[in-house]
Amino acid sequence: MPPTEVTDNPALHRFELLVDGVTAFVLYKRTEGLIQLIHTEVPAALRGKGAGSKLVAGVLQFVEKNGLKVVPLCPFVVDYLKRHPQYLDTVDEKHKYRVLGP
């Protein structure tokens, strides 16, 4: 997969990753200091190529850079966070149980 960049599309409330003319995205809802990551959509043409992981990593880097905290509602995002604990600091304290368990 060629290098691409995750972009914020505030008009559609989603982060996007364009690869070979196909767009994967994470829907979000942003409130004061928080960003709820609601749903990740990776089209069939991009599945199994790391696009979803690259997308979520880019979103979490955006969150870090902008001083936000994540509310991970999407199961794909939760799974990614479990596999990449270096991003746990991006998760809002009240919602870390979603990643860390009970």
Write down the pLDDT at residue 4: 65
Write down the pLDDT at residue 2: 46
Tally of structural domains, the chain = 1
Question: Global pTM?
Answer: 0.92
- Give 22-36 pLDDT, tens digit per residue: 999 999 999 999 999
- Give 53-97 pLDDT, tens digit per residue: 999 999 999 999 999 999 999 999 999 999 999 999 999 999 998
In which domain, by residue range, is 26 found? 6-100
How far is residue 28 CA from its own chain's centroid? 9
For residue 21, is it left (φ>0), alpha (ψ between -120 and 50) or beta?
A: left
Q: Name the more confident of 4 and 17.
A: 17
Q: Kindly calculate the radius of gyration of the chain based on its CA atoms and give it in whole angstroms.
A: 13
pLDDT beyond 60 at 1: no
- The reply to whether 15 falls in a domain is yes
- The reply to whether 1 falls in a domain is no
- The reply to whether 58 falls in a domain is yes
CATH number for the domain including 58? Answer: 3.40.630.30
- Give 5-24 pLDDT, tens digit per residue: 999 999 999 999 999 899 99
